Amino acid sequence: MRHRRISRRHFLAGVLGTSATLALATRAAPAVRKGANLRLWILKTYVAPTNKAIEVSAERWAQKNGATVSVEYFTFEDMQTKYVAAIENKNTPDVGQLETGAPARFAGMGQLLDLTTFARQVEGQIGKPTANVAPVTMVDNKIYAMPWYIMGAFWYVWRDVFEKNKVKLPATYEEAKQAAHVLNRPNENFYGVGQSWNRTSDGYGVMQSLMYSYGVGWAGRDGKYRSIKTPTMQQVMKWATDIYKEGIQPADTLSWTGSQNNENFIAKKIAQTSNGPSITFALEDALAKARDATERKQREEAIANHLALPHPAGPDGRRMWSIAMSLGIFKNTKDPDAAMSLIAHLLSPEETVSVMKESYGQFGPVLDKARDASKDYFNKNDNYRTFGRAAEWFAATGWPGPVTAAAAEVQATNVLTDAPAKVIVDKWSVDQAIEWEDKKIKDVYDTLRS
Amino acid sequence: MAEARLHPRRWASASGRDTGTAFFFLLPLFALVVALIIYPFYRAIWLSFTDKLVGYPERFVGLRNYLYLLRDDTFREVIRNSLIFTVGSVTLKILSGLAMALVLNGIWRWRNFFRGLFLLPWITSTVIIALTWRWMFDSFPGRGFFNSVLMDAGLLTRPIAFMASPEGAMLAVIIANWWRGFPFFGVSYLAGMQSIPLDLYEAAAVDGAGTWRRFWHITLPGLKHVMIITILLSFIWTINDFNIVYVMTRGGPGTATQVFATYSYEVAFNQLRWGRGVTISIFVVPLFIVGIVLISRYLLRERD
Amino acid sequence: MYKAAAPLARLGSVKSLTIVGLLLFLLVILVPFWWIANMSFKTYAQIQFATSIYVPNPFTWENYTGLWTDTRFPLWLRNSVITALVVTATTTVIATLGGYAVARLRFPGRESVASLILILYLVPPALLFIPLYRVLAELGTTNHLTSLFLSYPTFTVPFCTWLLIGFFKALPKELEEAALIDGANRMKAFTKVLLPLATPGIVASAIFAFTLSWNEFLYALVFIQDEKSITVPVGLNLLIYGDVFHWGELMAASVITTIPVVLLYMFIHRWMVEGLVAGSVKG
């Protein structure tokens, strides 16, 4: 492998202003000077205990090293604006949690430190990410962020409803749709499925899972634009719009916010929906807050009856669009060594497992050492076993190509969910919608700055 | 004025004798206005001629943003939505404002009390109003007022998803905007009605004119001035509205309720394209200038 | 006040129409407020399962307490209060000075300044928010309340100045003229003579500024990201779209946020009406 000797590339990386990389090349492990103060940005997820656990883990590092960490949160909603603001104002944090498309976007702007050597250095400690996740944080074969965990999406169903109606648990999108038809009971306000094409990850994320499982991607393996005007995309669009046209969903599905599918599922108004483990968390949390025996019984039943299946497969395989969270260091940091030390700490198997244990299965580690250490945790029950397998099915924005700034922008323009909306709401034909979507995507690739 | 002769000051002309003091008094105002309104406005214009993308330095590209938007079908939909939203809402406001003024004019015992009460929507935060009406139209019975009431009364078996269709969503945001804004119209028209001389009405009554004819031939013409001004003001405010649409629908479903302000925000902060985002807002400026010119003529014509 | 003249034909039916209209408007105005307040006293289960629609049953304060313990609402409230107070103070000073100048002082271009002030009020925040963001970022004020202290006066000052011009013009000039003749300079005439007389108007304008600042959303959304530094409207927006299932607390927050404004408003609604219609009805 070329990495054995320090190649010209590594020297260039060092020269290009990332002095820490050069420094690292001559040091064993990042040392932290006393009194270092770091700003850490982390994502506020729906599972509150995880957020707290990460804070606590960071505190432990601070204590151990005589340093301080101040933690700030961003949410799914303001992920973009918060980082945008920081970049424009030149007050980016030292270490930031980055969602799937962010490493590509920010590295392209020259905002992130090159962590290739660092990754090599700590490999012995923390391991490597799985092969399908690693490319998320790499641009031109350089690593710009350390992958930490993925938040998978799963196919939630009410097991008792399926059993009562003698319907087989769905493994593919087609089966899910058929099951929805059988289970649909609009007169009782109960619907077969609830999938909103809204501007949240529940919308554009599932659309991508659908597309990638059918083998359709708007970029090729090389990351360049690829037309989606194919018969397979027609099938995708058809599935996406049939579930609306065929009356198997609640009437207001298209206008749901990110949490309304959770709500509808927990209220047992829909039989199936795609979601992250936050539904399981909500149910377990509700049980913990039960006030009397009746409530306890109700909530225990709910937990027993809800089932998280692997996300459906399509003709081309089972691909689950997920959010891949990584940790990156912004180049404006005053203390790159401390930052790297913090990251190595957070990513260590022990710390990762401690955070993961508070995550109700939402947190799927991707580094192999952490994965090994967490096998027991995920063995709790069927649902958790499924959660633990998330990394197997992971597919990122821009599949089958790498995650690029262009792919991230396509997702950000909401064109993926606007297209089916045009068929459902504006009564366009499937062809028209695909044509329009393709044009918009091409436009992004044509006008993006490299 | 005669005083100018009594108190000779540095500037002999009456019209300029306080210029020094005035400068001092107006300095904070001017400083604020120049630094935080005029300068950003100028930068907005400049930004619209660049391809500014967050994280990258900007480059001058001339009219590229303008041409792109003119050819963009989403933008055309935004223009259409904004016009429908504004015209619909302002029309409703005019009609209900007239009705409110007539009602208030017709009572005198507690007129001030009711007038104050009816102004409540005007002083409430638009975010809360948007939230409130989002809930009024919600399809979850228990949350949605209309669905709850209709289902409870047995008129509906299944909830109606008002905001899930483009027409329904547009109607919902129009109603929220209308509810917030019509008291302004009502109060203005009331004041206008109260300054119409009574003898005109009495003369018409003597001539045998009925209520409706009196309204059409005396009240309305008497309100012409007020109506023009309120319509212009409301038009400008409504076409630039961000809060109500953003909080109620985020521009959805799809792009059915996307208006200038929300689209500008989305392009600038989701897609990170500031050049294009600013250009969207600038398209409203010509309308704004026309509105200003008209308002100035009507509003300032009679100032002393 | 003009009274409706008695000899109008068909007085009876006009009167009953008026009463019907009054009731309709009352319903239209009050029902939405009631709906929110109603929900704020219901438990999550009640709202979710529509168990008791018109009256909370059981009646609960848990949303109000939950607001305080589970969310950052107290912080947001603090931020909103601080912002509103600072902006009100600066606005009142600037607007009073400027309004006085246009109403009382003689200088060339006086009418243009008056027109300019009105025009500035109408410049839409939707146009300015992007470049204003950059300007404030360059000043290093974004993500702090300072960005609001600087940007809010851009809409409160023009409106309040316009309001005060109207008020000052309506005050009798004689007292000031007398003071000037007695040898006082403009500043003294202003502070010792006019200000005491104009206090009601200035108070009204201050309350107006407070209300505008309290309710503002777009600038607060764009200029500040840190969840600990945002104001109430932005926080409410977060609660709708962000975390799950905070409906009751959202309603409670709406009630709490609206009350101060309504209370303040009760004092000044007469002036507010005058201010709103000032100039639009007559010169």
C70 touches A at CB < 8 Å: no
> Is there a single domain that holds both residue A174 and residue A125?
no
Q: Residue window 136-195, chain C: list those with CB within 8 Å of chain A.
A: 137, 140, 142-143
Nearest-Cα distance to chain C for A273, in Å, is 16
The CA radius of gyration of chain C, in Å to the nearest whole number, is 24
DSSP tally for chain A: helices H, then strands E? 21, 13
Nearest-Cα distance to chain B for C272, in Å, is 9
C225 touches A at CB < 8 Å: yes
Q: Per residue in A358-393, pLDDT tens? A: 888 888 889 988 888 888 888 888 898 898 888 889
Among A88, A89, A266, the residue to mutate for chain C (most C Cβ within 10 A): A89
> Is there a single domain that holds both residue A269 and residue A335?
no
Nearest of B241, B296, B123 to residue C117 by alpha carbon = B296
Nearest-Cα distance to chain A for C19, in Å, is 38
For C84, half-sphere exposure in the C-beta direction (CA atoms, 13 angstrom radius) is 25
Contact A39, A93 (CB under 8 A): yes
Nearest of B221, B195, B225 to residue B300 by alpha carbon = B225
Dihedral sign for Cα B76, B78, B81, B86, please: negative
- Token pair for A64: 């151990």
Could you give the CA distance from residue A358 to residue A365 in angstroms, rounded to a whole number? Answer: 13
Contact C56, C124 (CB under 8 A): no
Contacts of C114 in chain B (CB under 8 A): 300, 303
Contact A71, A42 (CB under 8 A): yes
Q: Do A426 and B55 count as a contact with CB atoms less than 8 A apart?
A: no
Of C140, C142, C226, the CB nearest to A72: C226
Higher pLDDT, C240 or B60: B60
> Is there a single domain that holds both residue A332 and residue A437?
no
> Is there a single domain that holds both residue A440 and residue A337?
no
> Is there a single domain that holds both residue A101 and residue A192?
no
For B153, half-sphere exposure in the C-beta direction (CA atoms, 13 angstrom radius) is 7
Q: Which residue of C has its CA nearest to B233?
A: C122
Contacts of A40 in chain C (CB under 8 A): none
Nearest-Cα distance to chain C for A47, in Å, is 9
pLDDT of residue A388: 86
Q: How far is CA C76 from the centre of its chain?
A: 17
Q: Report yes or no on A401 lying in a domain.
A: no
Q: Do B161 and A409 count as a contact with CB atoms less than 8 A apart?
A: no
A450 touches B at CB < 8 Å: no
Could you give the CA distance from residue C41 to residue A446 in angstroms, rounded to a whole number? Answer: 54
Could you give the CA distance from residue B162 to residue C12 in angstroms, rounded to a whole number? Answer: 40
- In sequence order, what are the residues at sequence separation of 6 or more whose Cβ sits closer than 8 angstroms to the Cβ of residue B102? B193, B215, C18, C21
> Is there a single domain that holds both residue A301 and residue A203?
yes
Q: Which residue of B has its CA nearest to A406?
A: B271
Nearest-Cα distance to chain C for A92, in Å, is 12
Domain hosting residue A422, numbered range: 154-319+414-447
DSSP codes joined into one string, B171-188: HHHHHHHHHHHHHHHHHH
Of B19, B127, B230, the CB nearest to C237: B127
Dihedral sign for Cα B254, B259, B262, B267, please: positive
User: Is it the case that residue C235 has pLDDT exceeding 60?
Assistant: yes
Could you give the CA distance from residue A288 to residue A281 in angstroms, rounded to a whole number? Answer: 10
Burial classification of residue C191, based on how many CB atoms lie within 10 Å of its CB (0-12 exposed, 13-18 middle, 19 or more buried)? exposed
Contact A36, A26 (CB under 8 A): no
pLDDT of residue C260: 86
Identify the CATH number of the domain in which residue A360 sits: 3.40.190.10
- In sequence order, what are the residues at sequence separation of 6 or more whose Cβ sits closer than 8 angstroms to the Cβ of residue C60? C41, C42, C43
Q: Report yes or no on A68 lying in a domain.
A: yes
Contacts of A88 in chain C (CB under 8 A): 133-134, 137
- Token pair for C17: 């129409």
Higher pLDDT, C247 or A277: A277
- In sequence order, what are the residues at sequence separation of 6 or more whose Cβ sits closer than 8 angstroms to the Cβ of residue C186? B18, B21, C105, C180
pLDDT of residue A30: 60
A449 touches B at CB < 8 Å: yes
> Is there a single domain that holds both residue A290 and residue A339?
no
- In sequence order, what are the residues at sequence separation of 6 or more whose Cβ sits closer than 8 angstroms to the Cβ of residue A258? A76, A198, A200, A201, A202, C241
Query: What is the average pLDDT score of chain B?
Result: 85
Could you give the CA distance from residue B259 to residue C124 in angstroms, rounded to a whole number? Answer: 14
User: Is it the case that residue C100 has pLDDT exceeding 80?
Assistant: yes
pLDDT of residue B7: 47
A385 touches B at CB < 8 Å: no
* Angle made by CA atoms A403, A346, A79, in degrees to the nearest 5: 45
Q: Report yes or no on A292 lying in a domain.
A: yes
User: Is it the case that residue A417 has pLDDT exceeding 60?
Assistant: yes
Query: What is the average pLDDT score of chain C?
Result: 82
pLDDT band at B299 (very low <50, low <70, confident <90, very high): low
Nearest of B175, B163, B171, B170 to residue B81 by alpha carbon = B170
- In sequence order, what are the residues at sequence separation of 6 or more whose Cβ sits closer than 8 angstroms to the Cβ of residue C108? B15, B16, B19
Average pLDDT over residues C219-237: 87
Q: Do B28 and C97 count as a contact with CB atoms less than 8 A apart?
A: yes
pLDDT of residue A165: 94
- Token pair for C92: 């009142």
B213 touches A at CB < 8 Å: no
A258 touches C at CB < 8 Å: yes
pLDDT band at A114 (very low <50, low <70, confident <90, very high): very high
> Is there a single domain that holds both residue A214 and residue A163?
yes
Burial classification of residue A242, based on how many CB atoms lie within 10 Å of its CB (0-12 exposed, 13-18 middle, 19 or more buried)? middle
> Is there a single domain that holds both residue A147 and residue A222?
no
Cis peptide before A310 (omega within 30 of 0): no
Question: What are the CA-CA distances from residue C5 to residues A82, B113, B204 (Å)?
Answer: 63, 21, 12
Q: Per residue in A391-405, pLDDT tens? A: 889 998 999 988 888
Chains within contact range of chain C (3+ C-beta pairs < 8 Å): A, B
> Is there a single domain that holds both residue A125 and residue A221?
no
With DSSP H G I counted as helix, E B as strand and the rest as coil, what are the percentages for chain A, rounded to 5? 50, 15, 35
Q: Which residue of B has its CA nearest to A264?
A: B140
- Token pair for B262: 């929300």
Neighbours of B41 (CB within 10 A): 18
Interface B-C, measured as beta-carbon pairs within 8 A, has a size of: 321
DSSP codes joined into one string, A82-114: HHHHHHHHT---SEEEE-TTHHHHHHHTT-B--
Nearest-Cα distance to chain B for C63, in Å, is 15
pLDDT of residue A309: 95
- Token pair for B46: 């400049």
Helices A8-15 and A116-126: angle between axes, nearest 10 degrees = 110
Q: Per residue in C59-76, pLDDT tens? A: 888 889 888 887 789 999
Of A412, A425, A426, the CB nearest to B270: A412
> Is there a single domain that holds both residue A350 and residue A419?
no
Nearest of B30, B24, B12, B303 to residue C101 by alpha carbon = B24
Q: Which residues are registered as beta bridge partners of A70?
A: A39
Nearest of C117, C121, C269 to residue B233 by alpha carbon = C121
pLDDT band at B300 (very low <50, low <70, confident <90, very high): low
Of B18, B29, B230, the CB nearest to C105: B18
C157 touches B at CB < 8 Å: yes
Contact A227, A439 (CB under 8 A): no
The CA radius of gyration of chain A, in Å to the nearest whole number, is 22
Contacts of C244 in chain A (CB under 8 A): 46, 259, 262-263, 278, 282
Q: Which residue of C has its CA nearest to A256?
A: C241
Q: Residue window 40-59, chain C: list those with CB within 8 Å of chain A.
A: 48-49
Q: How far is CA B264 from the centre of its chain?
A: 18
Q: Report yes or no on A432 lying in a domain.
A: yes
User: Is it the case that residue A318 has pLDDT exceeding 60?
Assistant: yes
Contact A183, A271 (CB under 8 A): yes
Q: Report yes or no on A25 lying in a domain.
A: no
The pTM assigned to this predicted structure is: 0.83
Contact C48, C248 (CB under 8 A): no
Q: What class is the B74-303 domain?
A: mainly alpha
Q: Which residue of B has its CA nearest to A253?
A: B164
Q: Do B253 and A84 count as a contact with CB atoms less than 8 A apart?
A: no
* Angle made by CA atoms A176, A390, A201, in degrees to the nearest 5: 65
Nearest-Cα distance to chain B for C165, in Å, is 11
Nearest of C251, C214, C243 to residue C88 by alpha carbon = C214
Nearest-Cα distance to chain B for A274, in Å, is 20
A397 touches B at CB < 8 Å: no
Q: Do A259 and C137 count as a contact with CB atoms less than 8 A apart?
A: no
Could you give the CA distance from residue B157 to residue B138 in angstroms, rounded to a whole number? Answer: 15
> Is there a single domain that holds both residue A159 and residue A300?
yes
φ, ψ at A307 (rounded to 5°):
-130, 135
User: Is it the case that residue B139 has pLDDT exceeding 60?
Assistant: yes
A410 touches B at CB < 8 Å: no
Question: What are the CA-CA distances from residue B56 to residues A13, A88, A139, B187 (Å)?
Answer: 21, 9, 18, 50
Could you give the CA distance from residue A341 to residue A29 in angstroms, rounded to a whole number? Answer: 8
Could you give the CA distance from residue B289 to residue B35 in angstroms, rounded to a whole number? Answer: 21
Q: Do B41 and C123 count as a contact with CB atoms less than 8 A apart?
A: yes
Average pLDDT over residues B151-170: 85
User: Is it the case that residue C190 has pLDDT exceeding 70?
Assistant: yes
B131 touches A at CB < 8 Å: no
φ, ψ at A272 (rounded to 5°):
-140, 145
User: Is it the case that residue C168 has pLDDT exceeding 70?
Assistant: yes
Contact C96, C202 (CB under 8 A): yes
Contact A250, A128 (CB under 8 A): no
Q: Which residue of A has its CA nearest to C229?
A: A72
Map out the domains of chain B as residue ranges.
Answer: 74-303
- In sequence order, what are the residues at sequence separation of 6 or more whose Cβ sits closer than 8 angstroms to the Cβ of residue C252? C40, C63, C64, C66, C67
Give the pairing type, strands A68-75 and A37-44: parallel
Q: Per residue in A126-184, pLDDT tens? A: 889 988 888 899 888 899 999 999 988 999 999 999 999 999 999 999 999 999 999 99
Could you give the CA distance from residue C99 to residue C79 in angstroms, rounded to a whole number? Answer: 29
Higher pLDDT, A83 or B94: B94
Q: Do A199 and B250 count as a contact with CB atoms less than 8 A apart?
A: yes
Query: What is the average pLDDT score of chain A?
Result: 86
Question: Which of A20-24, A433-437, B69-73, C59-63 bottoms out in mean pLDDT, i.e. has the lowest?
Answer: A20-24
Contacts of A198 in chain B (CB under 8 A): 252
Three-class secondary structure of residue C222 per DSSP: helix
Q: Report yes or no on A126 lying in a domain.
A: yes
Question: What are the CA-CA distances from residue B74 to residues A406, B248, B280, C92 (Å)?
Answer: 20, 20, 11, 43
User: Is it the case that residue A3 has pLDDT exceeding 50?
Assistant: no
Of A81, A106, A425, the CB nearest to B254: A425
pLDDT of residue C282: 43
Q: Which residue of A has its CA nearest to B65?
A: A447
B231: left (phi over 0), alpha (psi -120 to 50) or beta: alpha
User: Is it the case that residue A59 has pLDDT exceeding 90?
Assistant: yes
Q: Per residue in B240-270, pLDDT tens? A: 999 999 999 888 787 889 999 999 998 988 8
Give the pairing type, strands A138-139 and A142-143: antiparallel
Question: Which of A434-438, C49-53, C101-105, C234-238 bottoms out in mean pLDDT, i.e. has the lowest?
Answer: C49-53
